[in-house]
Chains A and B, each alone.
Chain A
Amino acid sequence: MGFQVFVAFGPWNLLLLLVALECSEASSDLNESTNSTTRHEPNVQFAAASSEPDENIPVFVLDYDYVQIPYEVTLWILLASLAKIGFHLYRRLPGLMPESCLLIIVGALVGAIIFGTDHKSPPVMDSSIYFLYLLPPIVLESGYFMPTRPFFENIGSILWWAGLGALINAFGIGLSLYLICQIKAFGLSDVNLLQNLLFGSLISAVDPVAVLAVFEEARVNEPLYMMIFGEALLNDGISVVLYNILIAFTKMHKFEDIEPVDILAGCARFVIVGVGGVFFGIIFGFISAFITRFTQNISAIEPLIVFMFSYLSYLVAETLYLSGILAITACAVTMKKYVEENVSQTSYTTIKYFMKMLSSVSETLIFIFMGVSTVGKNHEWNWAFICFTLVFCQVWRAISVFALFYVSNQFRTSPFSIKDQCIIFYSGVRGAGSFSLAFLLPLSLFPRKKMFVTATLVVIYFTVFIQGITIGPLVRYLDVKKTNKKESINEELHIRLMDHLKAGIEDVCGQWSHYQVRDKFKKFDHRYLRKILIRKNLPKSSIVSLYKKLEMKQAIEMVETGILSSTAFSVPQLAQRIQGTKRLSPEDVESMRDLLTHNMYQVRQRTLSYNKYNLKPQTSEKQAKEILIRRQNTLRESMRKGHSLPWGEPAGAKNIRYLSFPYGHPQPASRHRRVAEFTDNDSSDSERPSIMFKEHSQRDLPQERYPTQEIIPMKSLYRGRKPTNFRYQRNTSQEEHVGQGRRAALRPKPLFRAVDEEYESGEESAEEASAIGPGWPPEHRPSREHHKSHSPLLRRK
């Protein structure tokens, strides 16, 4: 099926691309010709198309020069997007090869066309464009989507491996290539040590994004995943710092000799650049978090703040010759935690998508550009240099992996097995970073630049195509230890308990380790940072937020089950409850069983969910949709049965009380929106669903109503508002049928009530009862008392 679609699409896609390309080429043809015309007649400025100098205003004017660069860039991006769409239409293809393969192939095709037709490739890449515009989004994205907790759990090993690994690789490859260059037979004697080291530094920048995708799919264990992720995150930064320092040395070397002092200064510089970058990043992270504290009234600006401040941190660090990459990474990591709690749900979504989009665009551009520059004359093929580069890349990676992990395993409580190390060794895929750095080598300092570029391209092609395609089967073959994390409240609680326990045991033993550091930081965070950086009235620990998320899921589900099984509860069997008993009465068990029967929205598996190119559709959206469909069915059914409203019976109405919302404290507005998101996503997807769940968000969301549709607002979840908003609106004909009096009686039946009722003091419930007002039939009040004293496990009677 998928294949057919692909085949059907394939020609179309290709055609489209060709058309787009031809357009651009034709226009650049035109551009050249117009250029020549303008050269001949310099007084014609705008009327490029009209070849004669005429006083008349030209009817048709073409000014390609004016739009050339953005025009071409747009075409590039479009091309890449179309290629991606094609790539993902055929479902098995993404499993077979990484996306970067496709981009490179497309780029190479385009390059071949450009080469064949003798055009010049557009000037997308130059040093300032790359470092100022293309690189920051990529780094920002990987910093922002970093899974914080596992990262800091493994931070020692990650720093050790990513930092030292990059250095060992850079110097190892550089020095051993230098040795090769000393052999006269290869004709490389003009490549000096510094140039070799520089090449080593740029070729050691790995880009294991493709590997991460494979890992995620294969669900490898968390520490392994984090090692590769950490490498991807920090490696760029380290290589770029090294690269810049070495470039500085090379420049210096042109005029004077390098003294040992300079080398020492270079080392110090390396440290300063790194640490300074991280420092600035953290500062800017805090500033932006602090500013988002005050944006509640203009939430449209929130994403802007996030992006601008991260970019600013990059620019400021670069101005001071510090590492902008590390700065932007640190900034993203710092602010993420606080910003996510401050900004509204929609802003949060915007930030996420925008970030993915930006980074995906930059990377796509680089990859395609790489493909384009593969085809052409500016290559210098030196067998010895290229082969030895390839060999040394692998050898040094193997050495660094096995040596560094041998050391770090001594300190780790759960050491990396040999299999893990093999996978890490094999995941040394080079990517866009290496190519860009090679491409940006200044020709004046590097007479053999072409050879470096060629060697880099070969290494990238080799690793991306061969290793990238085979790593998936390898992971499966080696059967690396898997993880299966579930997103469940129990697990979250247990893990928390264990963390505290470990910290406590260490305290007792007088040990000092990172559990304690984490505990201390959390304390500090709660006491000071959160108070300063996060809006008021947003009390939230991550347990609570997870709980709310799950609960929201269940809440929708509960309404659903309530409707499905409402007939079972229509008999007002208000069993007497003995206070304090822990036994469940048959009705409770019945209801619980019912719950379990319909409990199909079990908590889902949580993957580490990092995908460079795309965001996973949220399961909640799917679930909400599923619920909608099911609800529609049941409603239709109940309509057929007659007009007996499922929740029409007084007792049935109040019975479903499984789900509790801790509504004792003011609910943050963003939580409202979180629910609202379900409905919003849905309403846009399914064509005009006849039934909608609507979360009332009195403050933020203007409540839209579809007059002819039934709307079931689930808003009575928070105390202090009218608790009985479970309203049933029907279109007029049915309303007549039901009758006015009956409707009045129906209105206040809460199908879905928060369970915390149990804990309410009498005074509160009285207050609530008065809040219910006249709409609440008096005979129901006593029945509410029954709810006060039963086991909290079951909330349905």
Chain B
Amino acid sequence: MDLPVLEVSCKWKRTIVALCDWPLSPSIMFSRSIRVGAVSSDQIEQLHRRFKQLSGDQPTIRKENFNNVPDLDLNPIRSKIIRAFFDNRNLRKGPSGVADEINFEDFLTIMSYFRPIDITMDEEQVQLCRKEKLRFLFHMYDSDSDGRITLEEYRNVVEELLSGNPHIEKESARSIADGAMMEAASVCVGQMEPDQVYEGITFDDFLKIWQGIDIETKMHVRFLNVEAMALCH
């Protein structure tokens, strides 16, 4: 169902990236991509520079490379973020599992989740885009790729979120997750049948919870603003 926007976008990207081999200098690569159209060379070049900086001039990035980002140390959900970069689901490489290393193309794929929604998009595209973004978030919670955020996973995330504050004990975090889960159950299932069981938040439920929050104005990173990911639609 969730094909068009991002699938097309990825094809685009692949064609663009396929046009140039890695040994080629980025400038050539981007001059070509400009020919292909609608790509801001500045932005991708910048990303590519950063990519090379992270990887130490290697074609791929491994998990260890992320340790070089000093600012990331402060982030309470650091491990989750790094993991998201290597998650096959986010990379569109498979239903589960974690990649060992990612190349620039993959890096761009991850970044493309954070592009802002264009005003010129029509309603359907916006919905798809929204769904993609939410899927990315969902995958951050759903660490065992079973399509459900179970209570354990939820607790895990909450604990990490609150780990920045040394005063909060694990128990508070846990009970918050419990409360959130209860709430999610009541939002998603409503009246439960006697023999019904709420096992975890599925993606559909996740969508339901997010209803009304305009993620399209929230989940984006500034630098991608200017046409950077124009290739994505």
Binding site for B on A (CB under 8 A): 221, 223, 411, 413-415, 417, 483-486, 488-491, 493-498, 500-511, 513, 515-516, 519-520, 522-523, 526, 539-541, 543-544, 547, 550-551, 554, 582-584, 586, 589-590, 592-593, 595-597, 599, 602-603, 658, 660-662, 664-665, 755-756, 759, 791-793
**Which interface residue of A413, A417, A550, A603 has the most chain B CB atoms within 10 A?**
A413
25 contacts between A and B (CB under 8 A): A484-B212, A490-B187, A495-B218, A496-B161, A498-B215, A501-B84, A505-B81, A505-B221, A508-B54, A516-B71, A539-B165, A541-B164, A582-B150, A583-B197, A584-B197, A589-B194, A589-B197, A595-B186, A662-B169, A662-B175, A756-B175, A792-B178, A793-B181, A793-B182, A793-B185
A498 to B167, CA, bound (A): 22
- Which of B54, B75, B137, B220 contacts A519 (CB under 8 A)? B75
Q: Take A505-B221, A582-B199, A589-B195 as given contacts and tell me if A500 and B158 are in contact as well, using a CB distance cutoff of 8 Å.
A: no
Is there contact, CB below 8 Å, between B72 and A507? yes
Contact between B179 and A593, CB atoms less than 8 A apart: no
Cβ B169 vs Cβ A502 within 8 A: no
Instruction: Determine whether B76 belongs to the interface, using a CB cutoff of 8 Å to chain A.
Output: yes
Contacts of A755 in B (CB 8 A): 175, 178
B123 at the interface (CB under 8 A from A): no
Please give, as numbers and ranges, the residues of chain A lying within 8 Å of B78 by CB-CB distance: 504
Chain B nearest CB from A521 CB (Å) reads 11
A478–chain B nearest beta-carbon distance, Å: 16
Residues of B near A541 (CB, < 8 A) are: 162, 164-165, 168
* CB < 8 Å neighbour of A596 from B186, B215, B222: B186
Q: Is B140 within 8 A of A526, CB to CB?
A: no
The answer to whether residues A593 and B171 also contact, given A509-B111, A510-B53, A792-B178 and a CB cut-off of 8 A, is no
The A-contacting residues of B in range 127-144, CB under 8 angstroms, are 137, 140-141
Q: Which residues of A contact B180 (CB under 8 A)?
A: 489-490, 493
Q: Does B157 make an interface contact (CB < 8 A)?
A: yes
The answer to whether A793 and B157 have CB atoms under 8 Å apart is: no
Interface string of B165-201 (1 = CB under 8 A from A): 1111111101110111111111100111111111100
Whether B223 lies near A664 (C-beta < 8 A) is: no
B209: nearest chain-A partner, CB-CB: A490
* Contact call A544/B183, Cβ cutoff below 8 A: no
Further pairs besides A523-B164, A793-B181: 11, Cβ < 8 Å: A413-B225, A414-B116, A490-B184, A493-B157, A501-B77, A506-B222, A509-B47, A509-B111, A589-B196, A593-B192, A792-B151
From A493, A526, A544, A554, B172 is in contact (CB under 8 Å) with A544
Asked whether A493 lies within 8 Å of B158 as measured between CB atoms, the reply is: yes
**B22 contacts the other chain (CB 8 A):** no
Judging by beta carbons under 8 Å apart, are A505 and B217 in contact?
no
B222 vs chain A, min Cβ distance (A): 5
Q: Is the CB of B81 within 8 A of A550?
A: no
* B214 with A483: CB separation less than 8 A: yes
Q: Say how far A345's CB is from chain B's closest CB, in angstroms.
A: 20
Residues of B within 8 A of A221 (CB): 214
Closest to A759 in B: B171
The 5 closest A-B CB pairs, nearest first, are A539-B167, A662-B172, A414-B217, A660-B175, A504-B81
Contacts of B137 in A (CB 8 A): 494, 497-498, 501
Q: Does B1 count as interface, using CB distance less than 8 angstroms?
A: no
Q: Are B174 and A759 in contact (CB under 8 A)?
A: yes
Determine the distance from Cα of A415 to Cα of B40 in the docked complex, in whole angstroms. Answer: 20
CB-based nearest A residue for B75 = A504
Q: Does B69 contact A (CB under 8 A)?
A: yes
- When C-beta atoms are compared, the residue in chain B nearest to A550 turns out to be B179
Shortest Cβ distance from residue B219 to the other chain A in the assembled complex, whole angstroms: 6
Bound together, the chains give a CA A484 to CA B170 distance in angstroms of: 32
Pair B175/A485 contact, Cβ less than 8 Å? no
> By DSSP majority rule, is chain B's interface helix, strand, loop, or mixed?
helix
On chain B, the residues within 8 Å of A503 by CB distance are 75
Q: Which residue of A lies closest to B49 (CB)?
A: A510
- B74 contacts partner chain A, Cβ-Cβ < 8 Å: yes
CB distance from B137 to the nearest CB of A (A): 7
Is the pair A665, B217 in contact by a Cβ cutoff of 8 Å?
A: no
Q: Which residue of A has the minimal Cβ distance to B188?
A: A490
Name which residue of chain B comes closest to A665, CB basis.
Answer: B169
| CB–CB A599/B186 < 8 A | yes
> In the bound complex, do residue B218 and residue A501 qualify as a contact, i.e. CB atoms below 8 Å apart?
no
Q: Is the CB of A497 within 8 A of B157?
A: yes
B119 at interface (Cβ–Cβ under 8 A)? yes
Contact B171 A413 (CB under 8 A): no
User: In whole Å, how far is A563's beta carbon from the nearest beta carbon of chain B?
Assistant: 19
Decide if B151 touches A791 in the complex (CB within 8 Å): yes
Give the shortest distance, in Å, between B179 (CB) and chain A (any CB).
5
A511 near B213 with CB under 8 A, answer no
Q: Mark B66-87, 1 if CB is under 8 A from A, else 0.
A: 1001011011111011001100
Given A582-B150, A589-B197, decide whether A543 and B75 contact each other with a Cβ distance below 8 A.
no
Asked if B167 and A502 sit within 8 Å, CB to CB, the answer is no
Most buried by B among A658, A664, A791: A664
A413-B116 in contact (CB<8A): yes
Contacts of B169 in A (CB 8 A): 662, 664-665
Query: Does the CB pair B193–A547 fall under 8 Å?
Result: no
Say whether B168 contacts A413, CB under 8 Å. no
Question: What residues on A are CB-neighbors of B75 within 8 Å?
Answer: 500, 503-504, 507, 519
With known contacts A413-B217, A501-B81, A513-B222, A526–B164 Cβ distance under 8 A: yes
Judge whether B195 and A489 touch: CB under 8 Å.
no
Residues of B within 8 A of A756 (CB): 171, 174-175
Given contacts A413-B217, A511-B221, A759-B174, A543 and B151 within 8 Å (CB-CB) = no
Q: Which residue of B lies closest to A547 (CB)?
A: B176
Docked pose: A691 CA to B71 CA in angstroms: 55
> Contacts A508-B69, A660-B178 known; A519 to B195 CB distance under 8 Å?
no
B50 within 8 A of A: yes
Among A508, A584, A755, which residue has the most Cβ atoms of chain B within 10 A?
A: A508
* In the bound complex, CA of A513 to CA of B71 (Å): 13
Distance of B110 from chain A, by nearest CB (Å): 8
- A62 CB → nearest B CB, Å: 64
Answer whether residue B114 sits at the interface, using C-beta atoms and an 8 A cutoff. yes
Of B53, B175, B186, B193, most buried by chain A (CB within 10 Å of CB) is B175
Shortest A122–chain B CB gap in Å is 51
Nearest chain A residue, comparing its CB with the CB of B117: A414
Q: Most B CB atoms within 10 A — which of A494, A500, A516?
A: A494
**Which chain A residue lies CB-closest to B53?**
A510
What's the nearest-Cβ distance from chain B to residue A797, in Å? 15
The answer on a CB contact under 8 Å between A510 and B76 is no
State how many angstroms separate the Cβ of A505 from the closest Cβ of chain B. Answer: 5
Q: Shortest Cβ distance from A782 into chain B, in angstroms?
A: 24
Q: How far, in whole Å, are A503 and B77 apart by their CA atoms in the complex?
A: 10
| Beta-carbon nearest neighbor of A513 in chain B | B222
Distance of A440 from chain B, by nearest CB (Å): 42
Q: A74 CB to closest chain B CB, in angstroms?
A: 48
Are A510's CB and B50's CB within 8 A? yes
